[in-house]
């Protein structure tokens, strides 16, 4: 399993990757967005890099003309078509932070069916919605009714988002809504988060499907160093039908946070579906 504690855009094996200062958030982006050069991300399909005074992550806006969380938008003319992109703030999205911090694979691209646990008000969900496209579905689970109302409002403008206001600890409550999925992304910041992922995987994740878990060390165990927490979570996954692939810390975007990725290979072939 790969461990990558370094956070930067550099990639010695790919000279096309940006050499300029990496994206650190919306507040320092030039307002003169007409000067930005948009290029496909060198590692991830359906994600883009905007070259300006600072490099920025971008996704192609599914709903042109509309911002989700006051993020800046970039319009680029391609032939007779004008394509709009949305900036993806690494300080407001752990998935974006993981990409910048060196993840080799996020397993999410056009056509991927995703179950998102801990969707909150939909900041990251909106970018995943851009990535997977209109032909796929993004099942988004959020426990809080307050933030869930924002998620529902977002789903009204993005038809590939299925909002589910429910407890991720009880996947049986939404088993009639969610089919088998390709990827589970989890950001629930609970002590038993890896077990929550396992329980949902047993209901919904395809054999060989992928997981991405955002781990907040202090939410799991504040009495031991963060590195120890991450190692313990990886070992737990190994014992419960998962094969961890990567462990990437995402500082300075989030302190004592890491993203763990892996694949699912259940020993018991019978799912709960």
| Burial annotation 168-204 (CB, 10 A radius, 16+ → b, else e) | bbebeebeeebeebbbbbbbbebeebbebbbbbbbbb
In CATH, which of 3.30.1540.20, 3.40.50.300, 3.40.50.150, 3.40.50.1000 is domain 94-264? 3.40.50.150
Which residues are CB-neighbours of 117 under 8 A, at least 6 positions away?
A: 141, 168, 184, 185, 186, 187, 188, 196, 197, 200
pLDDT of residue 175: 97
Calculate mean pLDDT across residues 134-138. Answer: 96
Q: Where are the beta strands (DSSP E) in the chain?
A: 2-4, 37-40, 48-51, 56-60, 73-78, 81-87, 114-117, 138-142, 161-165, 181-186, 205-216, 242-249, 257-264
Start-to-end CA distance of the chain, whole Å, equals 30
Lookup: tokens for 151: 């998620």
> Is cis: bond before 61, omega within 30 of 0?
no
Calculate mean pLDDT across residues 67-84. Answer: 92
Q: Where in the chain is the domain with CATH 3.40.50.150?
A: 94-264
Q: Give me the chain's average pLDDT, please.
A: 88
CA–CA separation, 196 and 142 (whole Å): 13
Higher pLDDT among residues 184 and 267, named by residue: 184
CA–CA separation, 125 and 211 (whole Å): 15
pLDDT of residue 1: 66
Whether the pLDDT of residue 114 is over 60: the answer is yes
Alpha-carbon distances, residue 231 vs 1, 51, 117, 181, 260 (angstroms): 11, 36, 22, 27, 10
pLDDT of residue 220: 93
CA neighbours within 13 Å on the CB side: how many for 56? 27
């Amino acid at each position: 399993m790969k461990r990558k504690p370094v956070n930067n855009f550099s990639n010695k094996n790919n000279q096309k990757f940006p050499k300029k200062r990496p994206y650190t958030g919306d507040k320092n982006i030039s307002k003169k967005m007409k000067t930005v050069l948009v290029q496909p991300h060198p590692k991830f399909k359906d994600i883009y890099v905007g070259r300006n005074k600072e490099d920025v992550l971008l996704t192609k806006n599914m709903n042109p003309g509309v911002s989700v969380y006051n993020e800046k938008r970039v319009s680029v003319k391609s032939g007779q078509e004008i394509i709009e992109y949305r900036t993806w703030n690494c300080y407001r999205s752990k998935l974006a932070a993981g990409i910048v911090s060196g993840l080799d694979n996020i397993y999410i691209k056009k056509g991927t069916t995703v179950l998102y646990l801990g969707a909150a008000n939909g900041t990251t969900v909106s970018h995943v919605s851009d990535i997977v496209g209109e032909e796929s579905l993004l099942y988004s689970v959020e426990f809080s009714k307050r933030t869930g109302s924002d998620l529902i409002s977002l789903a009204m403008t993005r038809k590939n988002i299925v909002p589910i206001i429910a407890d991720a600890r009880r996947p049986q409550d939404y088993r009639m809504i969610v089919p088998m999925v390709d990827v589970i992304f989890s950001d629930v910041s609970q002590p038993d988060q890896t077990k929550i992922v396992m329980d949902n995987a047993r209901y919904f994740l395809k054999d060989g499907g992928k997981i991405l878990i955002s781990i907040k060390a202090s939410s799991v165990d504040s009495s031991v160093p963060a590195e120890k927490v991450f190692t313990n979570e990886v070992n737990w996954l190994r014992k419960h039908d998962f094969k961890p692939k990567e462990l990437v810390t995402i500082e300075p975007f989030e302190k004592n946070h890491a993203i763990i990725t892996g694949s699912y290979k259940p020993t018991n072939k019978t799912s709960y579906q």
